[in-house]
Structure 1
Amino acid sequence: MRNHCFKSSIRSGVVRLNKGACMALLLTSMSACSFTPGARLDRISLPAGFSISIYEDNVPGARTLAFGDKGTLFVGTYKEGKVYAIPARNGDEGGVLVIAEGLQNPHGVAFRDGSLYVAERSRIVRFDDVENRLAQPPAPRVIYDLGLKYAHHGLRVMHFGPDGKLYVSIGVPCNICMPEADRYGIIIRIDSNGKAEVFARGIRNSVGYDWHPDTHELWFTDNGRDLLGDDAPPDELNHAPVAGMHFGYPYCHAGELPDPVFGLRNPCSEFTGPAQRLGPHVAALGMRFYTGHQFPVSYQNRIFIAEHGSWNRSSKLGYRVSMVTFAGNEAVKYEPFAEGWLQGNSAWGRPVDVIVAPDGALMVSDDKSGAIYRISYGNH
């Protein structure tokens, strides 16, 4: 049974409880309320005027997000092998539908022209007319075979770019190695005829990207390598205005740190450094430009990044949503926006992806708590 004890939002540090539901649960179990993500929302800090609420708390392993034309929120997963659909709420609570299961790490989701695209580890499949068939979803149709086999960094992320092509990130099958050229450590784009080309290289593992609303240029996160200490290298926010750029992996990290194994082969000066250095080992994953109209105008075109959090640092870092501010086309400030999933050195939630909802709210997925959060401004 789902726990609706803490379904209301947290605003200005005040927890609004459904007292009747909570009392009934407490009579059954004194700890029933304490283990739901909603019970801990009072720990999330946000800028003044913002609030956070539970949009859905029954989405085990929730990872990447995509909205359909009718407001359906599609959610990819990792180990669960499922793809979820959360129909538009229109002010009412709804359920979570499983529209596919038994897939191989169906992590990436993208929506276009009525069809849902799902990226598994080795292939891309499509569900046609899916929003009209949520109760009886169609069988997936394979549209592209990636021909990849490695599980390490095997979670694909994909989005349709302004050029109408489908972009797919392919991480390297290791922590540090010399990957097969133009097969790993890249972002590719696939046209409507199924022809693929490499758009960007030298990328260890990108799990989030988006295009600037004005320039239509690509920006993406990249996870830095492990085993170089607590504070090196930082994760990266990169800018790829044109095809063919190389961002340094495995020779150089964050634009300035030669790799101890491969760094002597090519100097850092040969590659494109990050537009913004992020926290070390924060596991920067999903990112989006804010294009809604609910937040104050100063937030327009800022980047929001889901930081999944470090596993390889003596003092944990990340487990938050961060924000990058621009001056023109230049990143000038990186700071936390929503934090509190990490308490001390223990985390109760791990943000994975962010997406701007049709109403301008910011949705955040959390695979540890199996929840989707909604961050809103003012009375929205």
Structure 2
Amino acid sequence: MRKHILIVLGLLLLVGAGIVTWLAWPDTAQLPVDQVVGRQPTITAPRQQTIPTVKVAKAVGWQAGAKPSVAPGLRIEEFAGGLDHPRWLYRLPNGDVLVAETNSPPREGGGVVQKVMNVLLGRAGAGVPSANRITLLRDANGDGRVDTRTAFMTGLNSPFGMTLFEGQLYVANTDALVRVPYTEGATRITAKPELVIKLNPGGNHWARNVIPSGDGRTLFVSVGSASNIAEGGMEAEKYRANILQIWPADKNWRIYAAGLRNPNGMALNPTNGRLWTVVNERDMLGSDLAPDYLTQVEFGDHFGWPWYYWGGYPDTRVEPAYPQLQQYSKRPDYALGPHVAALGLTFANEAKLGSRFGNGVFIGEHGSWNRKPVSGYKVVYIPFGANGFPVAGAKPFDVVGGFLNADGDAQGRPVGVIIDKTGALLVADDVGNKIWRVTAR
């Protein structure tokens, strides 16, 4: 009899837990975003989710001449429009701008989860096929508007990062780093790309970035994870959630740093040449966790993914556990807030936007899907000190906003950010299909 009573009690507890879980869904943030930013963010207890909180701004585009808002003392105008999902930007030595018009490759399999993700992508404006194109934009007369637009490279495979290195243009496709010879002033490249190294494709995070390392011999390539927390097993994450170091002369490579769930933007600090990146952290721990971050990266660093976040907080969902790693998980340098989807990154040393922006970084926050209320959907600036790190106590400063309208719909979403040849800030907007140009008044 006692056994039956215990079974009934156990079932009641399970049902009660299910009801509590349902009533708590979707999870609502208990902290404002600005308490989960900076060098010492508030890290609350996780609120694990079986059913994810889904709150993504519906993509509607810019209507009737609307445009983003900017901080006082700045102005913003359209640099180029009519693009096809522009994600990443690169400035050539002559001032021409390359834009990767790109999107995720077709997502196959994944069952119900992938079907749900496809619906979310469509709502967020990311469900369109990839143009697989790099377009060249030229402002010949310096008036801040594009005069010449050409299809610079076509037939690529979800291209993202681009960089010049030793006379060749390197392009990071989703499945490979490739290169082609480059001639200054060229408006089109027809040469067949040469394979440098293969990259593991598939899964959730398709975008690969590439920048020179600064040593004159190697490149850095970022490769995001295939999943949220390696739920498909670590074999599927081989050479993923890494920054790789590439020797392009002989096509060798190594893992430079690991445990980075989805690093996208990378840049070298101009004051000391150190590598920095922005990283998208994990989902489904509640609307207050885990913070995306900005951090300096050194050889051999491990930032904990998937077992740990923010320098040693365990994610108990990950099996098998890896307790030996906890003490070696590096804490990031600066939290950007939960679920902001930090993608773009550029240092401000070449910007001519006023003294406020003399030493720091601009970050494009694409915007959340797993937080209520939403976070991100803006470009922020973080000031750095003379020591080469973010200023202690400094909070992100909003530079470009207004991407969400009064109804909470997305008129645009910022991604890549660079400084143009005049010192203006360029922002790729993959929902508005534009590039915006921010200048000082």
- Secondary structure of the 1:347 match is coil
Cα distance between partner residues in 2 of 1:293 and 1:310: 28
Q: Which residue of 2 aligns with 1:45?
A: 70
Cα distance between partner residues in 1 of 2:139 and 2:355: 26
- Aligned 8 A contact 1:63 1:352 in 2: yes
Q: Which residue of 1 aligns with 2:89?
A: 65
C-alpha distance after superposition, 1:109-147 (max 9, x if no partner): 11234432211111122232254431x422232231324
What amino acid maps onto 1:308 in structure 2?
H
**Are residue 275 (structure 1) and residue 275 (structure 2) matched?**
no
- Aligned 8 A contact 2:200 2:240 in 1: no
Give the percent of matched residue pairs that are identical in Structure 1 and Structure 2. Answer: 30
- Aligned 8 A contact 2:351 2:357 in 1: no
Q: Which residue of 2 aligns with 1:111?
A: 164
* TM-score with structure 1 setting the length: 0.84
Cα distance between partner residues in 2 of 1:376 and 1:97: 25
What amino acid maps onto 1:56 in structure 2?
A
Greater relative CO, 1 or 2 (CA 8 Å, sep 6+): 2
Shift in Å at residue 57 of structure 1?
0.8
The 5 Å alignment of 1:193-342 reads: 193-240=250-297, 242-262=298-318, 264-266=321-323, 268-327=326-385, 328-332=387-391, 333-335=394-396, 336-342=398-404
Q: Which residue of 1 aligns with 2:114?
A: none
The 5 Å alignment of 1:11-26 reads: none
C-alpha distance after superposition, 1:190-239 (max 9, x if no partner): 12322211111111011111111111111111101111111111101111
**Are residue 173 (structure 1) and residue 173 (structure 2) matched?**
no
- Secondary structure of the 1:148 match is coil
- Aligned 8 A contact 1:116 1:130 in 2: no
**Are residue 88 (structure 1) and residue 139 (structure 2) matched?**
yes
* TM-score with structure 2 setting the length: 0.73
- Secondary structure of the 1:236 match is strand
**Are residue 354 (structure 1) and residue 380 (structure 2) matched?**
no
- Secondary structure of the 1:225 match is coil
C-alpha distance after superposition, 1:52-94 (max 9, x if no partner): 1111012211111111121110111222211111123323541
Runs of 5+ unmatched residues, structure 2: 1-59, 104-129
Runs of 5+ unmatched residues, structure 1: 1-33
- Secondary structure of the 1:269 match is helix
Cα distance between partner residues in 1 of 2:278 and 2:64: 28
- Aligned 8 A contact 1:210 1:288 in 2: yes
- Secondary structure of the 2:344 match is strand
- Secondary structure of the 1:137 match is coil
Shift in Å at residue 334 of structure 1?
3.0
More strand by share: 1
C-alpha distance after superposition, 1:294-342 (max 9, x if no partner): 1223422301100000112232111100111122223232322221102
Rg larger for? 2
Cα distance between partner residues in 1 of 2:170 and 2:370: 33
- Aligned 8 A contact 1:287 1:306 in 2: yes
Count of residue correspondences: 341
CA-based RMSD: 2.1
What amino acid maps onto 1:91 in structure 2?
G
C-alpha distance after superposition, 1:143-183 (max 9, x if no partner): 31324232421210111121132110011111111534761
Of the three residues 133, 137, 145, the one matched with 2:186 is 133
- Secondary structure of the 2:66 match is helix
Cα distance between partner residues in 1 of 2:254 and 2:378: 34
What amino acid maps onto 1:184 in structure 2?
R
- Secondary structure of the 2:264 match is coil
- Aligned 8 A contact 1:239 1:275 in 2: yes
Cα distance between partner residues in 2 of 1:197 and 1:361: 36
Shift in Å at residue 100 of structure 1?
2.3
- Secondary structure of the 2:370 match is coil
**Are residue 152 (structure 1) and residue 192 (structure 2) matched?**
no
What amino acid maps onto 1:306 in structure 2?
G
Shift in Å at residue 293 of structure 1?
5.0
Task: Assess, with a 3 A threshold, how the Cα gap between structure 1 residues 220 and 147 changes in structure 2: closer, same or farther.
Answer: closer
Shift in Å at residue 36 of structure 1?
4.2
